[in-house]
Amino acid sequence: MTASRYEPDAVFEPAPAGARLRLAAMVSLVVGALIPLVALVVILNERRPAPWPALLAPAAAPLALAAVWFFSRIGRYRVSREEIVVELAVGVRRFALAGLQSVTPDPAALRGAHKLVGNDGLGALSGRFRSRHLGTFRAYLTDDARAVVLRWPDCCLVISPQQHSLFVDTVRRRAGLSS
């Protein structure tokens, strides 16, 4: 009888924000600052006194953007013996290693992809996407230049761990895939 060797979960931080996320953050920051300024100018140019909700409304845009950014962040990726866990700001997504067919780095994974539902750049790229290259897939990434594509018979996942080469080797080893 052979004793199974215990391997602790491998933990990977998400890659630093890539160009796409930085651009989305800059645009959001500008829009988030302009909306309240324009609203205040319009409210203050009115001849009659503004109701108090109108005075508070300009604060809603920056607060909404901050909430989207906060709740969209990716905490980390964890690889156990049985699954890959994507830890988000609110909740986790689990993907079993059983049936995993391939794990490949692909910096062009998001090229030509269209968002079906999710967040396309404020805090993270996350949700369901579709492209000719990958078909329909889930994405939880911060830098598309460090994208790693994981394929199962019925699912495709794109993520971006900071140490993507080590991540690929770890997942391949734990899933029993050849290099």
Task: Say whether both 155 and 100 belong to one domain.
Answer: yes
Mean pLDDT of 52-79: 82
Please check whether residue 1 lies inside any domain of the structure: no
Q: At what angle do helices 19-44 and 60-72 cross, to 10 degrees?
A: 160
Q: Which of 4, 170, 143 is nearest to 78 (CA)?
A: 170
Please check whether residue 11 lies inside any domain of the structure: no
Please check whether residue 3 lies inside any domain of the structure: no
Task: Say whether both 28 and 59 belong to one domain.
Answer: yes
Please give the Cα distance from 141 to 144 (Å, whole number).
Answer: 7
pLDDT at 1: 45
Q: pLDDT for 76-100, tens place per residue?
A: 999 998 999 999 998 999 999 999 9
Task: Say whether both 57 and 124 belong to one domain.
Answer: no
Q: pLDDT for 31-40, tens place per residue?
A: 877 877 777 7
Mean pLDDT of 152-165: 96
Please check whether residue 153 lies inside any domain of the structure: yes
| Residue 86: CB atoms within 10 Å | 21
Task: Say whether both 126 and 169 belong to one domain.
Answer: yes
Question: Which of 70, 88, 110 is the endpoint of a domain?
Answer: 70
Task: Say whether both 88 and 156 belong to one domain.
Answer: yes
Edge-to-edge order in the sheet of strand 102-105: 102-105, 148-152, 155-159, 135-141, 125-131, 114-120
Task: Say whether both 50 and 86 belong to one domain.
Answer: no
Please check whether residue 10 lies inside any domain of the structure: no
pLDDT at 122: 83
Task: Say whether both 134 and 56 belong to one domain.
Answer: no
pLDDT at 168: 96
- Average predicted confidence (pLDDT) for the chain: 88
29 vs 78, more confident: 78
Task: Say whether both 170 and 107 belong to one domain.
Answer: yes
Mean pLDDT of 119-140: 92
122 vs 56, more confident: 122
Is this model's pTM higher than 0.75 or not? Answer: yes
Total domains in the fold of the chain: 2
CA atoms within 13 A on the CB side of 178: 0
Task: Say whether both 133 and 160 belong to one domain.
Answer: yes
What is the enclosing helix (H) or strand (E) of 128? strand 125-131
Please give the Cα distance from 76 to 179 (Å, whole number).
Answer: 24
Please check whether residue 9 lies inside any domain of the structure: no
pLDDT at 162: 96
Percentage of residues in the chain with pLDDT exceeding 90? 56
Please check whether residue 57 lies inside any domain of the structure: yes
| Residue 26: CB atoms within 10 Å | 10
pLDDT at 126: 93
Task: Say whether both 147 and 95 belong to one domain.
Answer: yes
Contact 18, 142 (CB under 8 A): yes
Please check whether residue 39 lies inside any domain of the structure: yes
Strands 102-105 and 148-152: antiparallel
**Structural domain of 91:** 74-175
* Residue 52 reports pLDDT greater than 70: no
pLDDT band at 54 (very low <50, low <70, confident <90, very high): low
Task: Say whether both 153 and 112 belong to one domain.
Answer: yes
Task: Say whether both 79 and 156 belong to one domain.
Answer: yes
Nearby residues of 78 by Cβ (< 8 Å), 6 or more positions away:
9, 10, 11, 12, 84, 85, 87
Mean pLDDT of 94-108: 96
